Structure 1
Amino acid sequence: MQSFGFLSFGHHAIGNQQGPNARDVLHQAIDIAVAADELGVNGANFRVHHFAPQASSPIPLLSAIAARTSHIEVGTGVIDMRYENPLYLAEELGSLDLIADGRLAIGVSRGSPEPALRGWEAFGYTAEAPNGADMAREKFLRLLDAVSGYGVATAAPAEEQYPYIYQPGSALPVFPYSEGLRRRIWWGSGTNKSAIQAAKDGVNLMSSTLVSEADGRSLGELQAEQIAQYRAAWAEAGHDWQPRVSISRSIFPIVDDQTRRVFAGQATGRDQIGSLGEDGPATFGRSYAAEPDELIEQLSQDPAIREADTLLLTIPNTAGVELNVKLLSAFAEHVAPALGWKPSH
């Protein structure tokens, strides 16, 4: 593990529910990221969900964080491509990456189960596959072309252009173009098959918070196999650069009475088996909550943590700024160095 960051699901209260509202959560996310940047934490990442009281459109939040930080990567885990216009997204990502001086690490995928029935149709998009996988795939490939600077439209006849810029019939890219962004795109994968495809496509691997398999092995063992297959496929594809691999875990260092009171009961002794509807059974990772020395021993035994270069800590965003910063600080000071962490500055 060379780097670690946090992954926030952006939960907020609605109606008469208790907890921070959407405005509070967004402002707190910025404050957490600024504090994490000062600690040397490597990444600030946010889940994207639609039709739910969670983080949705990530670009405004990531732009605000990028403008107030200097070192930390800003990214997503993950953007649901079924809901996106890939060319408009490419323009947004290009602008954001330039604002962030090349600190964007954007994760995308087909998306996970959601409250809405074919919710992407409400956004104006249609798909043949019931889960929208065909449309997500087509949009993803178009996004890769766009962020690579390839032509994705055709120049109009000279008399129709205003102003006249391009040779009629020539291929037009979207703007702005940010050099290097293409190598900082990640695919969020929950299966070996999609991980292998990510390698063939030449994008980084963001192994999901779960794996769509349940054969008795731990999440770490399943993900280690996934990472091995991804890297083998990458080598076979012959890409001329080295990709990155991230995994996510729920980890709570117990360092004082407050963290013991709040998080000691969060620890689970083993992974959980659940269902993702049409995707079938899945293995969900356990939650770790212990004093630093015990955490180091437990995490060192996780084969996926040994294989991945990036670890994302899923944080309880509704707990507020102070407690989340304390968790990140405790992990950075007492746990991460023993796992091979290299701070961002």
Structure 2
Amino acid sequence: MQRFGTLSFGHYGPLGGGRQLTAADSMHQAIDLAQGMDELGANGTYFRVHHFARQQSSPMPLLAAIAARTERIEVGTGVIDMRYENPLHFAEEAAAVDLISDGRLALGVSRGSPETVVRGYEAFGYTGSTDPRGADIARDHFETFLRAIDGEGIAERDASSPFGGGAGMQRIEPHSPGLRSRIWWGAGSRDTAEWAGRTGVNLMSSTLLTEDRGIPFDQLQAQQLEAFRAAWHEAGHPGEPRTSVSRSVFPLVTAEDHLYFGHSREGEGVGYIDGMRSTFGKTYAAEPDELVEQLKADAAVQSADTLMLTIPSQLGVEFNLRIVESFAKYVAPALGWVPTTQERADRE
């Protein structure tokens, strides 16, 4: 494990007892938490994206705000639903955030998670899908998005325009030359992982896989990562791609930790999502020494270079920052992690 960060579901709404977490609260707290993590030396802060729900739905402004208030931490998503995106506008936004952050954007995209509405992307104007889950729309949008961020000419220049002469096909602006290397695809199956490898983008693998092969979840996920890397190299892409997995990990350090998570040792399971038989990952909650041994035995955590910790964002900045700090202090170093603050000091 070379890097770790947090994956926030960004929930807001009633908290019970008459308390309310507003959308504004959620975003301001995300910025404050990212600043604290940046100071700790954590590597990334990533956000789930859901439409028609009390969660983050348009993360680019939030990522730009975090990028402007931090120095080292990677800012990203896990994942943006491409069924809902105008690929050219999205390419402009992504390039802008990447430039603002000085190349710290890690943009995870995919077909998206199960929705709270029926074919919500059609309400956004994207119709004509022949797939019941809109996967064909997501892939088409993604292909156009990649062409745009690669700097390919998209529209023909108007030679008579007062804003610039000449001829030829023009790329979208702004353009961030290194952005393609920081694009990730969220894959829920081996087939999709292999497709991502052939396409030449990084891989995000979640705590839910839309397949069941009769083996433990971590081994199934490790096989997915291995298949992805094999497809990457077979396609002839240079270098090594990045891979990430997400886990719910809670070091039990204080009495409050035990109160909240002492009974959260949930085992993995099998169920149905979007009509597909799926395998779910488990929750890790234990004393730090025990957590280290558990995560060392997790085949996928050991295979991936980045671990995303799913956090209970509704519990506030102070509480979540303490979870991150406990993981960074008592668990992550034993897994091979070096804080970004130390990496910078070593270089200097």
TM-score of the alignment, normalized to the shorter chain, above 0.5: yes
Q: How far apart are the structure 2 equivalents of 1:54 and 1:14?
A: 13
Q: Secondary structure at the match of 1:138?
A: helix
1:25 positional shift = 1.0
2:294 pairs with 1:298: yes
Amino acid aligned to 2:277 = P
2:42–2:328 contact (8 Å) kept in structure 1: yes
1:146 positional shift = 0.7
Counting only pairs closer than 5 Å after superposition, residues 1-345 of structure 1 correspond to structure 2 as: 1-13=1-13, 18-126=19-127, 127-156=129-158, 158-159=159-160, 161-167=161-167, 170-268=168-266, 270-278=267-275, 280-345=276-341
Q: How far apart are the structure 1 equivalents of 2:322 and 2:217?
A: 27
Would you say how many aligned residue pairs link Structure 1 and Structure 2?
339
Amino acid aligned to 2:124 = F
Moved more, 255-264 or 97-106: 255-264
Q: Runs of 4+ in structure 1 displaced over 2 angstroms? A: 14-19
What TM-score does the superposition give when structure 1 sets the normalisation length?
0.96
User: Cα deviation per residue 1:231-251 (whole Å; 9 max; x = unaligned)?
Assistant: 111110111121100000000
Superposed CA RMSD: 1.3
Q: How far apart are the structure 1 equivalents of 2:20 and 2:211?
A: 34
Amino acid aligned to 2:10 = G
User: Cα deviation per residue 1:68-127 (whole Å; 9 max; x = unaligned)?
Assistant: 000000000000000000000000011100100000000000111101111011111112
Q: How far apart are the structure 2 equivalents of 1:225 and 1:213?
A: 12
Q: How far apart are the structure 2 equivalents of 1:184 and 1:291?
A: 34
Q: How far apart are the structure 1 equivalents of 2:291 and 2:250?
A: 9
Q: How far apart are the structure 1 equivalents of 2:34 and 2:299?
A: 28
Q: Secondary structure at the match of 1:141?
A: helix
2:202–2:241 contact (8 Å) kept in structure 1: yes
Q: Secondary structure at the match of 1:112?
A: coil
Q: How far apart are the structure 1 equivalents of 2:15 and 2:229?
A: 46
2:15–2:21 contact (8 Å) kept in structure 1: no
Shift of the 326–124 alpha-carbon distance from structure 1 to 2, 3 Å rule, reads: same
Q: How far apart are the structure 1 equivalents of 2:304 and 2:296?
A: 12
Amino acid aligned to 1:183 = S
2:10–2:313 contact (8 Å) kept in structure 1: yes
Q: Secondary structure at the match of 1:76?
A: strand
Moved more, 110-119 or 185-194: 110-119
User: Cα deviation per residue 1:181-221 (whole Å; 9 max; x = unaligned)?
Assistant: 00000000000000000001100000122111123322211
Q: How far apart are the structure 1 equivalents of 2:194 and 2:111?
A: 15
What TM-score does the superposition give when structure 2 sets the normalisation length?
0.95
Q: How far apart are the structure 2 equivalents of 1:164 and 1:255?
A: 62
2:9–2:49 contact (8 Å) kept in structure 1: yes
1:277 positional shift = 2.3
Amino acid aligned to 1:82 = R
Q: Secondary structure at the match of 1:5?
A: strand
Moved more, 255-264 or 63-72: 255-264
Amino acid aligned to 2:324 = L
Amino acid aligned to 1:164 = G
Amino acid aligned to 1:12 = Y
Q: How far apart are the structure 1 equivalents of 2:131 and 2:15?
A: 35
- Please, which runs of 5 or more residues in structure 1 have no aligned partner? none
Q: How far apart are the structure 2 equivalents of 1:145 and 1:166?
A: 22
Amino acid aligned to 1:247 = V
Amino acid aligned to 1:185 = I
1:41–1:72 contact (8 Å) kept in structure 2: yes
Q: How far apart are the structure 1 equivalents of 2:331 and 2:166?
A: 55
Amino acid aligned to 2:137 = M
Q: Secondary structure at the match of 1:265?
A: coil
Q: How far apart are the structure 1 equivalents of 2:297 and 2:231?
A: 25
Q: How far apart are the structure 1 equivalents of 2:207 and 2:156?
A: 41
2:213–2:220 contact (8 Å) kept in structure 1: no
Q: Secondary structure at the match of 1:266?
A: coil
Q: How far apart are the structure 1 equivalents of 2:194 and 2:278?
A: 19
Q: How far apart are the structure 2 equivalents of 1:173 and 1:299?
A: 45
1:19–1:318 contact (8 Å) kept in structure 2: no
1:153 positional shift = 1.3
